[in-house]
Structure 1
Amino acid sequence: MGKGFFINKTVAIICGVAAIGAVATIIALFAVYTQEKSPAPWQSYRLPDSLSPVSYNVTLRPHLEPNADKLYIFNGHSSVVFTCVKETDLILIHSNELNLTLFDGFHAKLKGLNGATAPSLKKTWLEVPTQYLVVQLSSLLQAGSMYELFTEFVGELTDNLGGFYRSEYIEDGEKRVVATTQMQPTDARKAFPCFDEPAMKAVFHMTLIHPQDTVALSNAMNFEPINITIEGQKLLQTSFEPTEIMSTYLLAFVVCDFTYIGTKPGAEVLIRIWARKKALEEGQGNYALEKTGPILAFFENYYNSSYPLKKSDQIALPDFNAGAMENWGLITYRETALLYNPGVSSNGDKEWVATVISHELAHMWFGNLVTMRWWNDLWLNEGFATYVSYLGSNNAEPKWGMKDLIVLNEIIGVMAVDALAYSHPLSSNEEDILKPEHISELFDSITYSKGAAVLRMLSEFITETVFSKGLHTYLEEFKYSNTVYKDLWRHLQMAVDKAGISLPESVEVIMNRWILQMGFPLVTINTQTGTITQKHFLLDPNSVVDRPSEFMYEWIVPITWIKTGGPEQQYWLLTKEATNSNMSLGADEWLLANINMRGFYRVNYDSENWERLLAKLSSKHKDIPVINRAQIIDDAFNLARAKVVSTTLALRTTKFLNKEKEYMPWKTASRNLDYFFLMFDRSEVYGPMQAYIKKQVTPLFQYFKNITLNWTKIPENHMDQYNQVNAISLACSTGVKECVALTTGWFKDWMANPSKNNISANLKSTVYCSAIAAGGVAEWEFAWGMYKNATLASEADKLMYALSCTKEPWLLNRYLQYCLDPEKIRKQDATHTIVYIASNPIGQPLAWDFVRSNWGLLFNEYGGGSFSFGRLIDGVTKRFSTEFEYKQLLQFKQDIAGQLGSAAMSLEQVLERTRANMNWVAENQNKVLEWFTTETSSLV
């Protein structure tokens, strides 16, 4: 036997107890550690893959009058049939803000189908953070078996514009209530318990119980309503045909007293425009009805795929947070996005209606028939629909130049956002987008506008014909299913291969550079040597990019270019630096790259080529394509902000404007000079800057005075109508006396005879703003009264904007307070109104103080998940350019920690922008003052 050691009994017992305790502690710590590493399924924001819904049977009754507690409610019940994919003893189904009925102490009932036996319920509860109804079972659900879960519930029909909510309006002095829906992205669970993820597609059988003087609508065609009586009240019960298999976020139902106009009986697809009776009586729905059919036919041809439903209902709602929502078969709109009144609405209103209808109809296939698997690929839905909406509206209105306007409306604007270090890639990792507020953050300009820009670029270099052929096979393979972006790349590659198009790399390799990393390149061309380089373009060169990219911020860039008016050529830049001898120039030549801004990148040149381009603009500006005249201005101003070129070079790109008559260069210059106003309208730069712009715009003002026969005619061309607005807006704001007299005179005539408004519809917004800015209380009160009585939403919007133009601080403060009263300013309009007020130099500090002092109220009352909170923070801080304002922002971030919701990313972008503004102003104020002073010295 070997050597041992001896301990007494007491010590042994103590050691034994200690050992047991140590083991217990280890087990407990391990359990805690395991729990932290593997949370309970109901603590995860993503549904497990154990269950798959097949169909829902939902009955809902909205009460359109308040109850004894002054609440509007709805009640109903729902059954969902699902298949068990993997054995489980747990059912997780989304439910949020619903009061569920208890059955023998449980929140649901479960039964087996087709011979399956349902386990008994063990425990149920509502998990609030993750918005689940949790159902624990006594035994396992069997894989391959089908079950049915039944719930009964009551919910509040709130006015918060999400889920099943109410919209209100006044007609004939009487308040009317509409029960309507907005499910995207995660609010179907507020209407009934459901598997509320886009990949969880199912068939929906809807039934609505509603008052007899109302109509019920849903995604599918309705059966004949039947009369029923509940607790002595006579009601209608409307059931609907089963939907196609679809995602929960596309579900919609409306109860209202609206009427409709529609296509004649026997049409292959029933098209109906629903709205308030008076709106339709005034003809406000006629344009939408006229254009819906042709746009629908265009997309059927473009996709080479028939519209998959029997009907296309489109309804204009008085209260709606977004512009519109692509619910399959029942598209919901803001009134301004669907209703148009000739003679009262502007050409901009008309374009908005055509573009939004086109956007939503594009979704009927791309998004609804084929849906992204998860929200991280939202850009695939929204970027695509944004791009092709310009194709659809161009087909409906071929004289408007919509294919050009995408550059102004989408591409130029989003470049400013994507040039920030706090931008984000188009496509995120699934695991990074989990919570509802993360999802809501994605509904931004990157998703919509950059998504459109890169898809337009792709369509250009593979050709639109090949692009649409790839879409056809993509839709055919994945119809009624879900996809990821790689599925689209694969089908576009098949179309490219079939067409024999040669690309330097596959579609996937090229496009992944554009969607999986944020930002875009600055392409610099040295025309002396033919050297071409690229680098990640940042508006603030001192900002730190802490988001790694596997592609090292290097892109595969399709460069289109011309030399001294010669034929267009293309070159693929595959590396950080390359040389193309064809791009080196002779003594009198100039080079222009990124023709018609088809590529999503900015361009810089050597100083000699910049001088030649400026000389060409000065001598024969029409030799340069109109979109590229706008591009030269926009690139130069943004390169100057990034310290790549001098600010004076950027300002020199505006000198030719006194000869320019086209809309796009003027609009681009106006936007970029707006930045100078934001930075300098409180400084000594303001006077000389105003004088310079007044000098440049006066010839344009006189030009439109002449071609409109002293403002008595409307210009024929769509973009000329826009540029007439530019001319008057800039002339009045810079003090052209003839302009101010003109607008105030028109407004006074209207005040003298309120029933007769002779102001041209296109000019109303500008005229109202100019007259209210030049006037006082009387003008403001008159406009407020006309706003409250406006029967056309687009007219109300113009007045709502113009009211923010007053120079009276007390009126602006009162207007801000109105934003907290939905009886005065609708919740859907509160964000816009506050931002409008902040765009006024006098209103900006008032709006900032208002937002800070009322943030908790705004966040709680208006919904932390609202898409507009990011725009609110962005809008009220655009002027920030001082250390003091930056510190205020940091304090604000600290004060509202935990109450940021969908505005978190926007706040970081605003902080970055403010730092950049501070640096830019410090470096450029004296140079800018000197340049404007020199340019206007001859006027003194």
Structure 2
Amino acid sequence: MAKESGISKILAGTFVFLTISVIAGIVTMIIFYKTEIALMDPTPRPMFTSSTTSLPPVIRLPKNLVPQSYQVFLQPHLYTRIIEVVNVTSPNQTMLFTGNSTVTFHCVQGTSVVYLHSRNLDVSGPVVMNKDTNERIGVSSMKNEEDTRNFLEIQLNAALEAGGNYSLFLAFNGEITENLNGVFVTVLGKFLAATNLEPADARTVFPCFDEPEMKAVFHVTIIHRRDTVALGNADMRGEIRTIYCHAHVSSKRPLGQYNGNPRIKDVLPYTGLPCLPLSQIPISSTTSGNMWENVLCALCYRCVLPTQTYARPDAIAAGHAKYAANITGKILKFYENYFGINYEQKTLDQIALPDLGVGAMENWGLITYQEGGLLYEDGVSSLLHKEVIATLIAHELAHQWFGNLVTMKWWNDIWLNEGFATYLSFFAVAHMDNLHAAFEVDALASSHPLSPPQEDVQMTFEIEDMFDAITYCKGAAVLRMLTDIVTERVFTHGIKVNEDGGHTTVAKVMNTWTKQMGYPVITINTTNGEVYQKQFLFNDSSESSLWWYIPIRVMSNAAEPSLVWLESSDTNEFIAKSGEWILANVNCAGYYRVNYNRENWERLSTQLETDPHRIPLMNRGQLVDDAFNLARAKLIEVTLALNSTRFLQNERALLPWESTVRNLEYFVLMFDRSEVYGPMQACGMKASFCLIHPNLRSVIYCQAVAAGGAKEWEFAWDKFQSSIDTSEKDQLREALSCTKKIWLLNRYLKYTLNPEKIRLMDVGSTILSIADNVAGQALAWNFIRAHWEYGFHQYELEKGNMYSWFTSEHMLVRVEKPTQWQLDCELKYYWFKTYLLLN
């Protein structure tokens, strides 16, 4: 739980005038709602053709061969820059790479066919050797199935024998892409090549066994131009940079048990995180030096762990990477102490890339970030941005254990990577409030279990769809609930050692939370003690038979918190005495919502108004969030939700205000076309909170653009183009979407089709910002429909972010079957895929 601080009080105070104005406006708007909604004109739903092509029966590689090591040679044929010289024709930029690889593998079951993955590669020259006898085995044919499986099939003249060790040599060449996957190129003064391979793009760089269970040792050699730099996951030696990724095997083993069964028995990286190049890089670095206390020790390579943070030279010179460099060692030391296992690699580098399709990528020993996720600019970046950077670094460093050191067997359990990393990152920065992002998506009929059956996650798009708020945020929330059940001491001990005691009970409870989609709302009647559960869905007409083992930590104004299991329909623990209130889910440790009888809601509201600190801080935020979402699902009256905010006039902590403002945004959305929408524009009423505050720069920019016209928009656009400060550019880019001029928003949308104007990695967030603008909702929706094919393949937008207006009620009017329309809208093809800045 976050500590209340002076900063929180300042930030919370800035929301006071806005929220009071909004609440007053909302009460009035409810009267007009039913009349006004009939006037709304929904956009027709898009049409998609269904494919009749039958899927191949087998998507997974056979398990008869187990890779042990790779020797990979790569040469990107990339000029760092193209120099224009008069009367001299400049060479065209080459966008190719060539290479060869030798994979050594063990045969566990005899076979005369070798299957591995390859996609968009020209593969040639196969050579198969028996490593035990040093004899060559003839190859009769080789073909690459460029279907959904991406199998490279190599037919042999003789069968491989069980128990034997073999190697396969292949030459290959491929294309350096511009879509931020595989080996991709970006331009920032000079050309830069980088890699991003998770979850299924290692196969686009070299032929490999591209499944997480098939871990191996990688030895990678990068051949590059003399005036360039190559970075990798471990030590680099010689003029030709050879990158060794052999993991040091620790005796402190095992780690990462789940339900008593070890997931991975070794510590080798899987192909989603191999040691691959970042070449042609116009960067500088800042060294954090000795990451731990400067102590003397004799036989210990841990004394000094060199780390460097790489970024643009101007960003390094301005000190924008110092904050990241300074906190990395502290976070890493925390994890080593927490796990009781040392970081396995001998180096740890971090690099801020000008383009990256995800917020960050946890490559073992070389973590890549979008610039905004690593660079902090004093005087420009907000304190919230500093917290985002710290949390993101903590998340990626947690992956050095959960994900890299130990890895899930298959992608259906990716939450074991991302959920643990998200949960632990909040420990590392002493903050925990990731519940709401999971609640939003998990209350939809299109949600999925944390750990679906393996057969439901086979195709590449199904794997990619697993990287969503359910995996990250619900995974973290469920782990937090488990910690609360078993205590932090037991939980911490359990992820370090392999012990069977008690795992059966844990599995019994956790299966209901990991193998089912959604989450429950428990309803408590404090008059008679009756309590029941049902799945919480925004569509109140939906039926569900799902049931959970629910731990309820409950307290009252007369009793301290205690843990109660919901196993029957009534219990004495929930009967309130005269004048007493009951509070369930203390500190929001449980992954569920709580509803009460009206009398208890009113008593809790009275307590919040008279002495709010009697209610834990997280519950002060959660009571508001539960009330508004229960009202949205038509389980309680809207007036009850609005009344839950009355205590805010004396509240100075950030969390309850953040919860309130976020929930009021939904009401703003619902009434954006009514005549009473005007009173909600607090800045238009010249509220004092709109005056300049260092942490509200983004709000000020937005309001300035919104209040202005073309001249102001052009001014902000020019500043956006000329700025070299990452944080400043991000704030200006978002502010440009705030204009109320339709033609300017249309122009801005068209800019997203031009990577020279809006970088590919920023396309998704730019369109979502425009969609958040009342004037831009229909524009964004029509633009996405018009450019769906381009958007589906290029945008990589965040799954679920659009649903707040995409499935909102004003988009459902004049549709014969609004429930079916909502369900259609929730299909994964309508959602925008993972864009993650871990949130």
Do the two structures share a fold, i.e. TM-score over 0.5?
yes
> What TM-score do you get using the length of structure 1 for normalisation?
0.75
Aligned to 1:44: 58
Give the 3 Å change call, closer, same or farther, for CA 289–633 of structure 1 in structure 2: same
The TM-score with structure 2 as length reference comes to: 0.84
CA displacement at 1:135 relative to structure 2: 0.8
CA distance in 2, matches of 1:187, 1:834: 26
Alignment of 1:770-809 (within 5 A): 770-809=703-742
Cα distance in 2, alignment partners of residues 187 and 391 from structure 1: 31
Cα distance change on mapping 1:737 and 1:653 into 2, 3 Å: closer
**More helix per residue: 1 or 2?**
1
For this pair of structures, how many residues does the alignment match? 739
3-state SS in 2 of match to 1:842: helix
Mapping of 1:586-605 within 5 angstroms? 586-605=577-596
| 1:555 aligns to 2:548 (yes or no) | yes
Within the candidate set 325, 329, 334, 1:293 is matched to 329
1:215 and 2:208 are equivalent in the alignment: no
- Give the counterpart letter for 2:554 in structure 1: W
CA distance in 1, matches of 2:769, 2:712: 18
Deviation at 1:875, TM superposition (A): 6.8
> 2:225 matched to 1:201?
no
Residue 872 of structure 1 deviates from its aligned partner by 6.7
What per-residue deviation string (whole Å, max 9, x for no partner) do you get for residues 837-878 of structure 1?
A: 011011111111111111122234x17xx4x26357547625
Q: Does 1:257 align with 2:286?
A: no
**Residue 620 (structure 1) shift:** 3.0
Matches within 5 A, 1:246-645: 246-251=269-274, 252-255=276-279, 256-264=281-289, 267-394=303-430, 402=431, 406-407=432-433, 410-474=434-498, 491=499, 494=501, 506-544=505-543, 552-564=545-557, 566-575=559-568, 577-579=569-571, 581-645=572-636
Structure 1 position 52, deviation (Å): 0.9
Question: Structure 1 residues 219 and 317 mapped into 2: Cα distance closer, same or farther (>3 Å)?
Answer: same
Q: Which deviations, in whole Å up to 9, do the C-alpha atoms of 1:31-83 show, x marking residues without a partner?
A: xxxxx9x998xx62200011111111111111223897755111111111111
How many Å separate the matches in 2 of 1:83 and 1:810? Answer: 62
Secondary structure at 1:572's aligned position in 2? strand
Which letter does structure 2 place at the counterpart of 1:431?
A: E
Per-residue CA deviations over 1:687-729 (Å, capped at 9, x if unaligned) read 46x2xxxxxxxxxxxxxxxxxxxxxxxxxxxxxxxxxxxxxxx
State the identity %. Answer: 44
2:137 counterpart SS class: coil
SS in 2 for 1:57: strand
Displacement after TM superposition at 1:809 (Å): 0.9
Aligned AA (1:881): H
Q: 2:646 & 2:717 partners in 1: Cα distance?
A: 40
SS of the residue aligned with 1:355? helix
User: What are the residue-to-residue correspondences of 1:871-882 with 2, within 5 Å?
Assistant: 871=800, 874=803, 877=806, 879=808, 881-882=810-811
> Structure 1 residue 785: deviation in Å?
1.2
Deviation at 1:532, TM superposition (A): 2.1
Stretches of structure 1 lacking an aligned partner (at least 5 in a row): 1-35, 170-174, 227-236, 395-401, 475-490, 498-504, 546-551, 691-729, 744-759, 909-940
SS in 1 for 2:787: helix
1:615 Cα deviation (Å)? 2.2
Aligned residue for 1:663?
A: 654
Cα deviation for residue 771 of structure 1 reads: 0.9
Return the offset for 1:358: 0.5
Runs of 4+ in 1 over 6 A off after TM superposition: 66-69, 887-896
Counterpart residue identity of residue 653, structure 2: E
Aligned positions of 1:723-872 closer than 5 A: 731-732=682-683, 735-739=685-689, 742=691, 761-860=694-793, 862=794, 866=796, 868=797, 870-871=799-800
Distance 1:907 1:177, change over 3 A: closer
The separation in 2 between residues aligned to 1:665 and 1:527, in whole angstroms, is 24
The secondary structure found in structure 2 opposite 1:136 is: strand
> Contact 1:773–1:805 (CA<8 Å) still a contact in 2?
yes
- For the structure 1 residues 143 and 370, does the alpha-carbon distance in structure 2 shift closer, same or farther, using more than 3 Å as the test? same
Are 2:833 and 1:904 equivalent residues in the alignment?
no
Aligned-residue offset at 1:334:
0.8
- Aligned counterpart, 2:31: none
Greater shift in the superposed pair: 385-394 or 614-623:
614-623
**Offset of residue 133 of structure 1:** 1.4
Superposition deviation, residue 831 in structure 1: 0.7
**1:144 CA displacement:** 1.5
Shift of 1:100: 2.1
Report which of the two structures shows the higher radius of gyration computed on alpha carbons. 1
- The Cα of 1:610 is off from its aligned counterpart by 1.4
Q: Give the Cα separation in 2 of the matches to 1:895 and 1:584.
A: 42
When structure 1 is superposed on structure 2, of 436-445 and 132-141 the one drifting more is 132-141
Decide which moves more: 590-599 or 465-474.
465-474
SS in 2 for 1:553: coil
| In 1: Cα distance, 2:645 partner to 2:601 partner | 13
Report deviation, 1:312: 0.8
2-structure distance, mates of 1:665, 1:878: 26
Q: How does 1:231-250 map to 2 (within 5 A)?
A: 237-244=240-247, 245-250=268-273
Summarize deviations over 1:809-856 as a string: whole Å, max 9, x none. Answer: 111111000000000000000011011001101111111111111112
The answer to whether structure 1 residue 152 and structure 2 residue 171 are counterparts is: yes
1:737 CA drift (Å): 4.7
Comparing 601-610 with 617-626, greater Cα deviation is found at: 617-626
Secondary structure of the 2:407 match is strand
Query: Given the superposition, is the C-alpha separation of residues 558 and 246 from structure 1 closer, same or farther in structure 2, using an over 3 Å criterion?
Result: same
1:111 to 2:136 alignment: no
* Secondary structure of the structure 1 residue equivalent to 2:553: strand
1:136 aligned onto 2:159: no
Match of residue 15 from structure 1: none
**Equivalent in 98, 102, 106 of residue 79 of structure 1:** 102
> Which residue number in structure 1 is paired with residue 26 of structure 2?
none
Name the CA distance, whole Å, in 2 between partners of 1:192 and 1:889: 48
Cα offset, 1:153, TM superposition = 1.6
User: Alignment partner of 1:427: what SS?
Assistant: coil
Which secondary structure state, in structure 2, belongs to the residue aligned with residue 49 of structure 1?
coil
Q: Distance in 1 between matches of 2:694 and 2:818?
A: 39
Structure-2 residue corresponding to 1:707: none
* Structure 1 pair 565–803 and aligned structure 2 pair: CA distance change class (3 A): farther
Structure 1 residues 643 and 859 mapped into 2: Cα distance closer, same or farther (>3 Å)? closer
Deviation at 1:453, TM superposition (A): 0.2
Taking structure 1 as reference, are residues 53 and 671 closer, same or farther at Cα in structure 2, changes over 3 Å only?
Answer: same
8 Å contact from structure 2 (residues 127, 136) kept in 1: no
CA distance in structure 2 between the partners assigned to 1:885 and 1:63 by the alignment: 57
SS in 1 for 2:214: coil
Cα distance in 1, alignment partners of residues 528 and 515 from structure 2: 33
Q: 1:522 to 1:39 in 2, by over 3 A?
A: closer
Distance in 2 (CA, whole Å) between partners of 1:181 and 1:818 is 26
2 CA distance for matches of 1:368 and 1:887?
50
Q: Is the 8 A contact 1:268 1:310 kept in 2?
A: no
CA gap 1:293/1:869 in 2 versus in 1, 3 angstroms: closer
Relative to structure 1, the CA distance from residue 905 to residue 775 in structure 2 (aligned partners, 3 Å threshold; closer, same or farther) is closer
The answer for unaligned runs of 5 or more in structure 2 is 1-51, 83-89, 248-267, 291-300, 834-839
Deviations 1:451-484 (A, max 9, x none): 000001111221212211111115xxxxxxxxxx
